Amino acid sequence: MENINLQILVKRPLSLISGVLALLLILHEVIQIASGELYQRSLHFVDGTTLIELGFLALLGLFTLRDQSDLQAVSSILVAGLSFIFIYEAIYKWSFYLTPFRFPMPPAELREFIIQTGIAATILTGFANNFFSLKKWTLV
């Protein structure tokens, strides 16, 4: 058992640190939500469930990319996490301004929407490098 733990530390230190941080993030947010703090003031009122989803996304990414190098796996989950946040923000902005209300989007909001959409598209690099794929359970 001790050899396995030391091998993980030596062979995949970035993945180990990322996985531990993802678990700590999930645990922290579950405790925060259970105590009645759904929104994180220090993060400009980010929903705590979004942070839990990011933690699970990181753990799933580390598991899925375990056959890749340590740096590839960690950098890919960071890109996927960033894309997830900006996809979420772009969909929110799109749904508020464009459908079904059709409010005119102010220029500053339009600029942010375009930037968010561009950053959200970085997830496509994971698909282009065959790190990610769509499966039956992806659509559930």
pLDDT in tens, 87-126: 888 887 777 777 666 777 788 888 888 888 888 888 888 7
Percent of the chain surpassing pLDDT 70:
89
Nearest Cα residue to 26 out of 56, 1, 2, 3 = 56
> Which range of residues forms the domain containing residue 67?
2-139
Q: Name residue, tokens 């405790």.
A: 31
- Cβ atoms of residues 40 and 48 within 8 Å: yes
- pTM, entire model: 0.73
pLDDT at 130 over 70: yes
How many structural domains are present in the chain? 1
- Please give the full DSSP string across 48-66, using - where no structure is assigned: HHHHHHHHHHHHHHHHHTT
Nearest Cα residue to 46 out of 96, 109, 111, 92 = 92
User: For 94, phi and psi rounded to 5 degrees?
Assistant: -60, -45
